[in-house]
């Protein structure tokens, strides 16, 4: 979209950003509460899931990825894929020794 | 001729036209062509040092201990590796030919971030100087091998930390170049130059750039952690503190295997530019070559474990890595097939760029095929750590990427310097180098199979003959190298003036004068068809 | 998004290109920290009991506080960009200043945390640490290295924002020249995201 259209959108954005921030705070308190439940084996998984949700919110709204061209999202996907594959291959060693 | 009064389109980029004059106009330039030349001088200087170290190693190996001590030998092969890998073959093609020609090939005036390009070069020089400094300070030159494996790299008193700091900075330089190229290719292509109308060298630079971006940071963290471990006793790679040395190997090779594709992909791109021109025929299988570049980058990211087959990894992972290693050979094979098919029934003009490119195919194929042998898990257990490996990687990195670089130098020399070199001398040099190279390195395959370990200062008597043969090969090879560079350097001043398009090439760089003007094109061209149209 | 004229590419600003360059740089940072997170996950799977135990030594209140601080700093950062794009330089400067302030508070908290541990004799290669279980040694080494490198990025980010603040007050940045602030914001959010992951991995898995 053009710069003018984007500026129009950002005119209403102060409030939207505060809502986004609120959701992040809520998720933070959620993850702290869950930690106190001491679920041991699931703890790490839930914590990572909540963290990923928070990260996704930051990337989508604060980092404006929602409004960026597709190519940037594609690049991000490639970078994440690269890291995931590296981790998986490393674990194929570490887990099966 | 007053440079300031002429338009930027009639004056060669060698003439000063900005705020600075003389040396400063080079050291503070943001012109991608000048940066390419700066890199060329730097990279070749480091290459000369690396070659000298290699000659010294071979000198020791005809009579171990006569001229060189054990400790010195360990440092020789370490520094030889560090210089040739990080200061020569990884940067060579992307920073010299890539920097110079990427914008020209896509019809742009410069790269996306010219000042970051300059910063890349400054970081390269800084990193290189730090590496050289590490040889003469502290505990002396590192003696760990260029692979810096823990635990020895943590315990040795040699100047590992400073050398690694230099490598860290070099990595940052490489990352910035990759970042620049990706953005340039996405954003600065001339109107009408769709992705599938780009020259294939650009595709190879694109794939290389992504590898630089995604792999180099892992090296950065690996060497950073090693320095932290040496300085603060962190313990990640120290079993007494709960660490695992194999994790260092993982982090190291997660970068260093893709690194070899950073070396070879641009070289493949270079020869892909050369074959159509000297066969007067369009390239065979454009899309196959483009996609195979991406495939090599992708799969090359997933095979690093084949350097660690004897380190203690799980059987599961070793089988997986071996399998993917076989897969990565396929796109390389596709390229070789397409190059041959390009030449087939072409109207061949035998000039030195073509000769170097043909040498590339031959030498790289030997390297690549022996790579399959190395990648076979069962065989690897016998040849890991032997001279077979040394021969393999010299055939691929030097016979492949190195000869590809020389091919590109000869192909684009007229454009970069506005002069022709002596063709006879170039051909002679190529032949001498080809013969010397094979004597130098094929003997190493035999040594390896016979059981000669690598990085050994001395050896059992049965290996002596092949070591002597190899050293003689090194002298023959270097004679050819000296002839080649002597020819090129002499021709800088004394060569015949080059026309705009001496080879009859069809890509955009040949449409501008030799050497190109400061802003590359008088008018940005509008592209209506792909490259390599030779009817 | 239309390409700005490539005929004068040397002099024209390409906003999309500048953002693309920054995103690509962030991918390299992602892989850099990724290597550390990879080490963390490998060692966690090896020493899960010791990791659970060691995390109890960390102050969850301070960790949560720092998380809230960084999240808020991300808010002030993105608000500063909106303000700049609407032409409100003063407001933008205010938000940038708040971001720097929050960053400094974060770093002070970190300093306090580290001091406490060092005071208890827990730091890399300390006799007290070496006397512990191997998994605990690795945990605390990871803690220091990861929060340390992260903290360095916070410090650098604060420095860069100080630079953009100066440029904003000088009028060099504005509604038609905001990419520098936008890119700084991208970097800052990335630093925030790293902490979003560090927080549970070190403080919450008790």
Q: What is the DSSP letter of C204?
A: I
| Residue B333 pLDDT exceeds 50 | yes
CA torsion angle B152 C152 B181 B411 (round to 10): -40
Count of residues in chain B: 535
| Residue A38 pLDDT exceeds 80 | no
User: Which one of C22, C39, C139 makes the best mutation probe of the B interface by having the most chain B beta carbons within 10 Å?
Assistant: C39
Q: Is B314 in Cβ contact with A96 (below 8 Å)?
A: yes
| Residue B6 pLDDT exceeds 90 | no
Is A51 found in the same domain as A25?
Answer: yes
Is A93 found in the same domain as A57?
Answer: no
Chains that touch A (3 or more CB pairs under 8 A): B, C
Q: How far apart are CA B208 and CA B437, in angstroms?
A: 26
Phi then psi for C121, rounded to 5 degrees? 85, 15
Residues 262-291 on B with a CB inside 8 Å of C are none
Q: Which of B50, B45, B237 is nearest to B135 (CA)?
A: B50
Domain that includes residue A86, residue range: 69-97
User: What integer pLDDT is reported at residue C8 of this predicted model?
Assistant: 39
Lookup result for tokens 């315990």:
B155
- Considering only alpha carbons, which residue of chain B is nearest residue A95? B314
Q: How far apart are CA A83 and CA B194, in angstroms?
A: 29
A93: chain B residues, CB-CB within 8 Å: 246, 250, 305, 313-314, 316-317
User: What integer pLDDT is reported at residue C12 of this predicted model?
Assistant: 58
Instruction: Work out the minimum CA distance from B191 to partner chain C, whole angstroms.
Output: 8
Is A7 found in the same domain as A38?
Answer: yes
Q: For C27, which of A14, A75, A91 is closest by C-beta distance?
A: A75
Q: Average of pLDDT values for C190-196?
A: 97
B320: chain A residues, CB-CB within 8 Å: 89, 92
User: What integer pLDDT is reported at residue B3 of this predicted model?
Assistant: 40
Q: How far apart are CA B162 and CA C33, in angstroms?
A: 22
Question: Distances in Å between the alpha carbon of B268 and those of B85, B189, B202, B204, B358?
Answer: 18, 22, 11, 7, 12
Residues 98-157 on C with a CB inside 8 Å of A are none
Q: How far apart are CA C178 and CA C171, in angstroms?
A: 11
Q: For C82, which of A14, A90, A94 is closest by C-beta distance?
A: A14
Instruction: Work out the minimum CA distance from C154 to partner chain A, whole angstroms.
Output: 17
State pLDDT tens for residues C122-166: 999 999 999 999 999 999 999 999 999 999 999 999 999 999 999
Q: Is C21 in Cβ contact with B110 (below 8 Å)?
A: no
| Residue A9 pLDDT exceeds 80 | no
Q: Is B251 in Cβ contact with C43 (below 8 Å)?
A: no
Q: Is C34 in Cβ contact with A86 (below 8 Å)?
A: yes
User: What integer pLDDT is reported at residue B5 of this predicted model?
Assistant: 42
* ipTM over cut 0.90: yes
Q: Average of pLDDT values for A3-9?
A: 57
Residue A94 in contact with partner chain B when CB distance is under 8 A = yes
C36: chain A residues, CB-CB within 8 Å: none
Is A75 found in the same domain as A56?
Answer: no
Chain A / chain C CB contacts < 8 angstroms = 121
User: What integer pLDDT is reported at residue B4 of this predicted model?
Assistant: 40
Q: Is B302 in Cβ contact with A89 (below 8 Å)?
A: yes
User: What integer pLDDT is reported at residue B102 of this predicted model?
Assistant: 98
Is A20 found in the same domain as A44?
Answer: yes
Lookup result for tokens 């050994």:
B456
User: What integer pLDDT is reported at residue B262 of this predicted model?
Assistant: 96
B134 Cβ contact list (under 8 Å, min separation 6): B141, B142, B159, B160, B162, B163, B166
State pLDDT tens for residues B45-79: 999 999 999 999 999 999 999 989 999 999 999 99
Q: Percentage of residues in chain B with pLDDT exceeding 90?
A: 95
Are residues B158 and B135 in contact, defined by beta-carbon separation less than 8 angstroms? no
Chains that touch C (3 or more CB pairs under 8 A): A, B
Q: How far apart are CA C51 and CA C44, in angstroms?
A: 6
State pLDDT tens for residues B357-373: 999 999 999 999 999 99
Q: Average of pLDDT values for B158-181?
A: 97
Assigned CATH for B28-511: 1.20.210.10
Rg (CA), chain A: 18
Residue C118 in contact with partner chain B when CB distance is under 8 A = no
Phi then psi for A69, rounded to 5 degrees? -60, 160
User: What integer pLDDT is reported at residue B22 of this predicted model?
Assistant: 86
C30: chain A residues, CB-CB within 8 Å: 79-80, 83
| Residue C1 pLDDT exceeds 50 | no
A68: chain C residues, CB-CB within 8 Å: 19
Confidence of residue C10 (pLDDT cuts 50, 70, 90): very low
Q: Is A63 in Cβ contact with C186 (below 8 Å)?
A: yes
User: What integer pLDDT is reported at residue A5 of this predicted model?
Assistant: 60
Residue C45 in contact with partner chain B when CB distance is under 8 A = no
Is A28 found in the same domain as A75?
Answer: no
B220: chain C residues, CB-CB within 8 Å: 32
Q: For B301, which of A82, A92, A94 is closest by C-beta distance?
A: A82
Q: Please, is C185 exposed, middle or buried when counting C-beta atoms within 10 Å of its C-beta (0-12, 13-18, 19+)? A: buried
Q: Is C24 in Cβ contact with B179 (below 8 Å)?
A: yes
User: What integer pLDDT is reported at residue B21 of this predicted model?
Assistant: 83
User: What integer pLDDT is reported at residue C109 of this predicted model?
Assistant: 96
B104 Cβ contact list (under 8 Å, min separation 6): B508, B509, B512, B516, B520
Phi then psi for C111, rounded to 5 degrees? -60, -45
Q: Please, is B523 exposed, middle or buried when counting C-beta atoms within 10 Å of its C-beta (0-12, 13-18, 19+)? A: exposed
State pLDDT tens for residues B429-469: 999 999 999 999 999 999 999 999 999 999 999 999 999 99
Q: How far apart are CA B156 and CA B328, in angstroms?
A: 36
Residue A74 in contact with partner chain C when CB distance is under 8 A = no
User: What integer pLDDT is reported at residue C5 of this predicted model?
Assistant: 38
- Considering only alpha carbons, which residue of chain C is nearest residue B227? C145
User: What integer pLDDT is reported at residue B20 of this predicted model?
Assistant: 80
Structure tokens at A91: 């674990």
Question: Distances in Å between the alpha carbon of B447 and those of B53, B441, C163, C177?
Answer: 21, 10, 60, 64
Residue A95 in contact with partner chain C when CB distance is under 8 A = yes
- CATH class of this structure's domain C33-204: mainly alpha
Q: Which of B313, B295, B216 is nearest to B257 (CA)?
A: B216
Mean of the per-residue pLDDT values of chain B: 95
State pLDDT tens for residues C13-62: 789 999 999 999 999 999 999 999 999 999 999 998 999 889 888 999 99
Residue B243 in contact with partner chain C when CB distance is under 8 A = yes
Are residues B314 and B305 in contact, defined by beta-carbon separation less than 8 angstroms? no
User: What integer pLDDT is reported at residue A39 of this predicted model?
Assistant: 74
User: What integer pLDDT is reported at residue B91 of this predicted model?
Assistant: 97
Q: Percentage of residues in chain C with pLDDT exceeding 90?
A: 87
C30: chain B residues, CB-CB within 8 Å: 217
Q: Which of C10, C110, C20 is nearest to C59 (CA)?
A: C110
B6 Cβ contact list (under 8 Å, min separation 6): none
- Please name the residue ranges forming H helices in chain C: 15-46, 48-55, 60-85, 89-119, 127-130, 134-169, 179-199
Is A96 found in the same domain as A77?
Answer: yes
Domain boundaries, chain B: 28-511
Is A57 found in the same domain as A32?
Answer: yes
| Residue B205 pLDDT exceeds 60 | yes
Phi then psi for C4, rounded to 5 degrees? -70, 160
Lookup result for tokens 């990706």:
B182
User: Which one of A93, A95, A96 makes the best mutation probe of the B interface by having the most chain B beta carbons within 10 Å?
Assistant: A93
State pLDDT tens for residues C62-84: 999 999 999 999 999 999 999 99
Is A92 found in the same domain as A51?
Answer: no
C142: chain B residues, CB-CB within 8 Å: 236
Is A12 found in the same domain as A56?
Answer: yes
Q: Percentage of residues in chain B with pLDDT exceeding 70?
A: 98
pTM (predicted TM-score): 0.95
Lookup result for tokens 């970042």:
B179
Are residues B336 and B275 in contact, defined by beta-carbon separation less than 8 angstroms? no
Is A19 found in the same domain as A56?
Answer: yes
Buried b (16+ CB within 10 A) or exposed e, A32-63: bebbeeeeeeebbebbeebbebbbebbbebbb
Instruction: Work out the minimum CA distance from B189 to partner chain C, whole angstroms.
Output: 8
- Considering only alpha carbons, which residue of chain B is nearest residue A83? B214
Residue A71 in contact with partner chain B when CB distance is under 8 A = yes
Is A34 found in the same domain as A9?
Answer: yes
């Amino acid at each position: 979209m053009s710069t003018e259209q984007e500026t129009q959108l950002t005119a209403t954005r102060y409030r939207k950003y505060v809502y986004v921030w609120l959701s992040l705070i809520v998720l933070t308190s959620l993850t702290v509460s869950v930690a106190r439940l001491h679920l041991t084996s699931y703890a790490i998984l839930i914590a990572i899931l909540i963290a990923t949700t928070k990260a996704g919110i930051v990337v989508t709204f604060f980092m404006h990825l929602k409004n960026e061209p597709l190519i940037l999202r594609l690049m991000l996907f490639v970078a994440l894929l690269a890291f995931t594959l590296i981790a998986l291959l490393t674990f194929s060693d570490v887990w099966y020794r | 001729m007053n440079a300031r009064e002429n338009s930027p389109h009639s004056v060669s980029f060698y003439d000063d036209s900005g705020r600075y004059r003389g040396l400063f106009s080079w050291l503070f330039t943001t012109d991608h062509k000048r940066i390419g030349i700066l890199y060329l001088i730097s990279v070749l200087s480091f290459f000369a040092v690396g070659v000298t170290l290699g000659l010294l190693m071979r000198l020791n190996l005809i009579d171990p201990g006569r001229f060189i001590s054990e400790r010195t030998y360990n440092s020789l092969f370490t520094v030889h590796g560090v210089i040739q890998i990080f200061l020569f073959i990884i940067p060579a093609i992307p920073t010299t030919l890539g920097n110079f020609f990427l914008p020209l090939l896509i019809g742009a005036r410069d790269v996306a971030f010219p000042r970051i390009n300059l910063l890349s070069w400054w970081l390269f020089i800084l990193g290189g100087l730090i590496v050289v400094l590490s040889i003469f300070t502290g505990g002396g030159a590192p003696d760990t091998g260029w692979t810096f494996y823990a635990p020895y790299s943590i315990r040795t008193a040699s100047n590992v930390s400073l050398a690694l700091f230099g490598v860290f900075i070099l990595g940052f330089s490489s990352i910035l170049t990759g970042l620049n190229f990706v953005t340039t290719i996405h954003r600065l292509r001339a109107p009408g130059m769709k992705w599938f109308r780009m020259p294939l060298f650009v595709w190879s630079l694109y794939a290389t750039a992504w590898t630089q971006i995604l792999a180099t940071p892992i090296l950065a963290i690996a060497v950073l952690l090693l320095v932290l471990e040496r300085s603060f006793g962190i313990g990640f790679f120290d079993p007494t503190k709960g660490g695992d040395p194999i994790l260092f190997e993982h982090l190291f090779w997660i970068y260093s295997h893709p690194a070899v594709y950073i070396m070879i992909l641009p070289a493949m791109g270079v020869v892909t530019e050369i074959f159509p021109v000297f066969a007067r025929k369009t390239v065979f299988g454009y899309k196959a070559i483009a996609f195979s570049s991406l495939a090599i980058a992708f799969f090359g990211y997933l095979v690093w474990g084949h350097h660690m087959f004897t380190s203690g990894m799980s059987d599961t992972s070793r089988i997986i890595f071996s399998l993917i290693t076989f897969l990565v050979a396929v796109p390389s094979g596709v390229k070789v097939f397409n190059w041959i098919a390009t030449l087939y029934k072409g109207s061949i003009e035998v000039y030195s760029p073509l000769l170097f490119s043909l040498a590339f195919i031959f030498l790289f194929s030997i390297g690549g095929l022996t790579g399959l042998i190395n990648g076979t898990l069962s065989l690897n257990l016998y040849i890991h750590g032997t001279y077979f490996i040394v021969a393999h990687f010299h055939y691929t990195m030097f016979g492949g990427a190195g000869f590809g670089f020389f091919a590109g130098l000869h192909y684009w020399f007229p454009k970069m310097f506005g002069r022709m070199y002596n063709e006879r001398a170039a051909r002679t040099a190529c032949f001498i180098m080809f013969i010397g190279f094979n004597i130098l390195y094929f003997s190493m395959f035999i040594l390896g199979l016979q059981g000669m370990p690598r990085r050994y200062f001395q050896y059992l008597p049965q290996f002596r003959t092949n070591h002597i043969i190899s050293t003689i090969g090194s002298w023959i090879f270097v004679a050819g190298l000296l002839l080649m560079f002597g020819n090129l350097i002499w021709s800088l001043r004394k060569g015949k003036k080059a026309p705009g398009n001496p080879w009859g090439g069809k890509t955009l760089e040949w449409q501008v004068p030799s050497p190109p003007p400061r802003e590359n094109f008088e008018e940005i061209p509008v592209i209506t068809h792909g490259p390599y149209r030779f009817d | 998004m239309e390409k700005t004229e490539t005929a004068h590419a040397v002099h024209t600003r390409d906003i999309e290109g500048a953002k693309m360059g920054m995103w690509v740089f962030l991918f390299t940072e992602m892989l850099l920290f990724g290597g550390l997170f990879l080490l963390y996950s490998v060692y966690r799977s090896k020493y899960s009991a010791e990791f659970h135990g060691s995390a109890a030594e960390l102050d969850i209140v301070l960790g949560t506080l720092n998380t809230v601080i960084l999240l808020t700093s991300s808010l002030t950062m993105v608000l500063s960009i909106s303000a700049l794009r609407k032409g409100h330089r003063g407001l933008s400067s205010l938000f940038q200043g708040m971001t720097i302030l929050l960053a400094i508070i974060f770093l002070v908290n970190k300093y306090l945390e580290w001091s406490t541990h060092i005071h208890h004799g827990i730091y890399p290669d300390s006799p007290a640490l070496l006397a512990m279980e191997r998994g605990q040694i690795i945990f605390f080494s990871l803690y220091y290295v990861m929060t340390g490198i992260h903290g360095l990025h916070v410090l650098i980010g604060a420095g860069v924002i100080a630079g953009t603040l100066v440029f904003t007050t000088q009028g060099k940045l504005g509604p038609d020249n905001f990419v520098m602030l936008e890119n700084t914001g991208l970097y800052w959010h990335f630093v925030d995201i790293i902490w979003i992951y560090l927080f549970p991995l070190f403080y919450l898995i008790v």
